[in-house]
């Protein structure tokens, strides 16, 4: 009788232990996928938005400026601890000149991978690594015979990698969600290892750049348009500041020459209740080295106004 009881108790406790382990594994898998999903939403909020409007203050007057950013999300699943997005970005400036020429758009296709380093969506820490090719699609000589840059038909091309660390906080209030993100890192161009660039750019273009950004966004509670008893959270306002500084040897300009090395811009976005993924945008900044391909030698302060759109302006609970 004792042997039978012992066998029964042994089988019972083995079954209990196996069931407990299975439940523990199931709970761990659920927790793992839940935090992956939360961070994927955070990555989406940090994607670059497309803009359509105009810039004012540059040496070449424009009638329209636009950054067409298509965020094609390749990997976005709770099963994976990373997020992958392809970004075929095209920047266009419609110049205020005879024939209203666009001249040479900036083509900057790229691929970015985001991955987290903690499990707290209210105090998120994560990295992003990206690769971009920047070109104006022209095959003419980059420099004129006298050594000046050929802005009319010169080739501009460079490949670069960007490594950023991101830190964010989220605060939930009764009628408001506050998100606050900062990031910092480096942009390194393939020219540092002697490849992937138009050779006439050497000594004239920044191959090593320190980068940083700050984004502060508010999501507001609104009444549902159909069900008056239901409430929804929608993006409301956002302020974003982006900084960039050329760190390597650059012509005759000293390291502290912010006039030629600093790029800085602040943009404010306001999203009306009827806007989905779109916001009114205004801002201004300074370009020490213009990011518009072959016009990189231009340095000037500017103001910008228009609309912005993208996945980062999506609604969220």
Give the closest residue to 49 by CA, choosing from 30, 66, 26.
66
Tokens of 228: 């008056």
Q: List, in order of start, the domains of the chain with CATH numbers.
A: 2-313 (2.40.160.40)
Band (26; pLDDT cuts 50, 70, 90): confident
User: pLDDT tens-digit profile of 165-177?
Assistant: 999 999 999 899 9
Return d(Cα 62, Cα 68) in angstroms, integer: 17
Give the CA distances from residue 132 to residues 70, 157, 159, 243, 247, in Å, rounded to whole numbers and listed in that order: 14, 11, 6, 18, 19
Q: pLDDT, tens digit, for every residue of 216-272?
A: 999 998 887 788 788 888 889 999 999 999 999 988 899 999 999 999 999 999 998
Q: What confidence score (pLDDT) does residue 14 get?
A: 56
- What local confidence, expressed as pLDDT, does residue 223 receive? 82
Structure confidence at residue 317 (pLDDT): 54
The overall pTM is greater than 0.85: yes
Q: What would the pLDDT profile of 29-81 be if each residue is shown by its tens digit? A: 899 999 999 999 999 999 999 999 999 999 999 999 999 999 999 999 999 99
């Amino acid at each position: 009788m004792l042997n039978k009881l012992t066998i029964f108790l042994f089988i019972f406790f083995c079954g209990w232990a196996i069931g407990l382990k299975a439940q523990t594994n199931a709970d761990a898998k659920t927790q793992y996928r839940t935090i992956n999903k939360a961070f994927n939403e955070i990555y989406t909020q940090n994607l670059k938005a497309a803009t359509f409007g105009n810039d004012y203050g540059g040496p070449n007057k424009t009638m329209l400026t636009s950054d067409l950013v298509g965020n094609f999300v390749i990997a976005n699943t709770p099963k994976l601890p990373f997020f992958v997005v392809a970004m075929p970005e095209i920047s266009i400036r419609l110049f205020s000149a005879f024939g209203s020429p666009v001249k040479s758009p900036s083509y900057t296709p790229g691929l970015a991978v985001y991955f987290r380093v903690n499990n707290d969506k209210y105090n998120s820490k994560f990295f992003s690594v990206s690769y971009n090719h920047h070109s104006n699609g022209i095959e003419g000589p980059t420099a004129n015979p006298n050594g000046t840059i050929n802005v009319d038909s010169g080739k501009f091309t460079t490949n670069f990698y960007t490594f950023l660390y991101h830190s964010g906080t989220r605060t939930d209030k009764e009628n408001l969600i506050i998100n606050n993100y900062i990031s910092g890192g480096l942009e390194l161009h393939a020219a540092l290892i002697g490849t992937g660039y138009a050779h006439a750019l050497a000594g004239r273009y920044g191959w090593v750049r320190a980068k940083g950004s700050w984004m502060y966004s508010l999501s507001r509670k609104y009444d549902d348009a159909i069900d008056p008893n239901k409430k929804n959270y929608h993006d409301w306002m956002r302020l974003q500041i982006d900084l960039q500084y050329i760190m390597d040897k650059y012509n005759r300009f000293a390291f502290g020459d912010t006039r030629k090395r600093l790029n800085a811009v602040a943009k404010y976005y306001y999203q009306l209740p009827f806007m989905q993924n779109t916001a009114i945008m205004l801002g201004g900044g300074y370009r020490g080295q213009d990011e518009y391909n072959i016009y990189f030698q231009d340095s000037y302060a500017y103001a910008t106004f228009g609309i912005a759109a993208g996945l980062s302006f999506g609604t969220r609970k």
